[in-house]
Amino acid sequence: MDQAQSQNEAEFPWEIGVFDAHCHPTDTMSSIADIPRMKATTLTVMSTRGEDQDLVLQIANDLAKELPGTQKQRPRILPCFGWHPWFSHQILDDKADKSDSNSGIGESAAELKKAHYRKVLKPSPDDAFISTLPEPKPLSQLISETRSRLLAFPTALVGEVGLDRAFRLPQAWMQEEIDARNGEMTPGSREGRRLSPHVVRIEHQKAILEAQLRLAGELQRPVSVHSVQGHGAVFELFKSLWKGNERKVASRREMKRRHNVDGAHAGSDAEGDEDGDGESLSDGRVKQPLAFPPRICMHSYSGPVETIRQFLHPSNPSDVYFSFSDVINFGHQSDKSVAVIKALPDDRVLIESDLHIAGEEMDERLEQVTRQVCELRGWDLKQGVQQLADNWKRFVYG
């Protein structure tokens, strides 16, 4: 019996701790009651749009109340608050609009709505399509509300945020689609509707993403990042936010002198601390908030191996992790994902379900992707589950 066959037949070691780095159970609220009975230890639950922000907050509060005092340090739910690029058109960049001194003067709310959607969508939508879209929310309001939710949970993440060049807005609901709609699904998502030709301009997506990344930097929270056909643009945005805060990379001579440090990356972490990642400077002045998050998860990463080398450069002041799901990474993108998983350092790999429903299926997806990752990396199953658990804890808590 070869190692792969032996691993597939081995009993799965749930007792070590299995952590879903990215999922969406609030899309099916009827499944939330199944979470306490799940085998997975903690679900990192994303919010994406207006309809689910308070739902994520609600289930995090409700499930925390059910835990005995000794278990509250290991919550079943880790909430994440953010605005997904699929819904970024619903956000009005009021900071950018204020830079235009004539913006909005004398215009009605309906005219302002039309102007906003014609500015951020391409091709420019007609009045009929715009009438089906919600009133846009000001970016300043989004950031204020997200800050309040993050402060309510000191370990909460920012997510799901990102860029998506492939996404097209769905068409308005047809009556037959409304009649056939699954009432258990939280409103706001596509739910199988036909797609329109309209996409969100990448410049607008970047503005919404940057504002959320700056908030994550201000509060020093990790982020979960969605990227489809936009890995280069995501990296360039991070690079612009990192500018001036790069870690010092030790030379080979310095590495030999510091032989007691486990690798150049650990050495660069120490240098970063000396440069002042704390809350105050030696003379008592309070430091300005950083413009970037301390840790980043590229969720269901679908980019090439070459790009991960950019994200993992030791001078980058954010630690970047890469998570993989059975539903995204082991389908049509399998070959590319296999190469990436094999190329990553042991301590930067995470697993996720990316599933919209909690319960038995989510556990099954987590077990499946864990077995696949362990097989690809040549990890013993117990060793791999422990490594993935340690990685998640480091990504979340530092």
Band of residue 65 on the pLDDT scale cut at 50, 70, 90: confident
What is the structure's pLDDT at 331?
73
For the ranges 149-153, 161-165, 227-231, 286-290, the lowest mean pLDDT is seen at 286-290
DSSP character at residue 19: E
Q: Are the C-beta atoms of residues 14 and 36 closer than 8 Å to each other? A: no
What is the structure's pLDDT at 67?
58
How many angstroms separate the Cα of 276 from the Cα of each of 45, 177, 281?
Answer: 32, 55, 7
Q: Is the dihedral of CA 276, 316, 24, 75 positive or negative?
A: negative
For the ranges 81-85, 183-187, 225-229, 266-270, the lowest mean pLDDT is seen at 266-270
- Across the range 176-181, mean pLDDT stands at 87
> 159 φ, ψ to 5°?
170, 150
Q: Is 117 helix (H, G, I), strand (E, B) or coil?
A: helix
Peptide bond into 160 cis (omega under 30): yes
- Where b means 16+ CB within 10 Å and e means fewer, 18-30 reads bbbbbbbbbbbbe
Question: Residue 252 pLDDT more than 90?
Answer: no
Q: Are the C-beta atoms of residues 305 and 337 closer than 8 Å to each other? A: no
Domains along the chain with CATH numbers = 2-397 (3.20.20.140)
- Across the range 47-67, mean pLDDT stands at 92
Q: What is the pTM of this model?
A: 0.88
Radius of gyration of the chain (CA): 22
What is the structure's pLDDT at 270?
36
- Across the range 178-187, mean pLDDT stands at 89
Band of residue 263 on the pLDDT scale cut at 50, 70, 90: very low
The DSSP bridge pattern shows strands 223-228 and 91-92 to be unpaired
What is the structure's pLDDT at 249?
86
- Across the range 283-311, mean pLDDT stands at 86
- Across the range 191-197, mean pLDDT stands at 93
The percentage of the chain sitting over the pLDDT mark of 90, rounded to a whole number, equals 75
What is the structure's pLDDT at 250?
76
- Pick from 208, 180, 209: which is nearest to 192 by CA? 180
Band of residue 333 on the pLDDT scale cut at 50, 70, 90: low
pLDDT in tens, 98-112: 655 455 556 799 999
Question: Residue 280 pLDDT more than 90?
Answer: no
How many Cβ atoms are within 10 Å of 101's Cβ, its own excluded?
A: 6
Mention every residue, 6+ apart, whose C-beta is less than 8 A from residue 52: 24, 26, 27, 186, 188
Q: Are the C-beta atoms of residues 224 and 299 closer than 8 Å to each other? A: yes
Higher pLDDT, 272 or 128: 128
Separation of alpha carbons 118 and 132, rounded Å: 14
What is the structure's pLDDT at 80?
98
Question: Residue 364 pLDDT more than 90?
Answer: yes
Most confident of 91-100, 178-187, 250-259, 270-279: 178-187
Question: Residue 272 pLDDT more than 70?
Answer: no
- How many residues does this entry show for the chain? 398
- Across the range 31-51, mean pLDDT stands at 97
Where does 1-98 have alpha helices with state H?
Answer: 3-9, 53-66, 94-98
pLDDT in tens, 136-153: 999 999 999 999 999 999
Question: Residue 22 pLDDT more than 80?
Answer: yes
What is the structure's pLDDT at 75?
86
| Cα 318 from chain centroid (whole Å) | 14
Band of residue 177 on the pLDDT scale cut at 50, 70, 90: confident
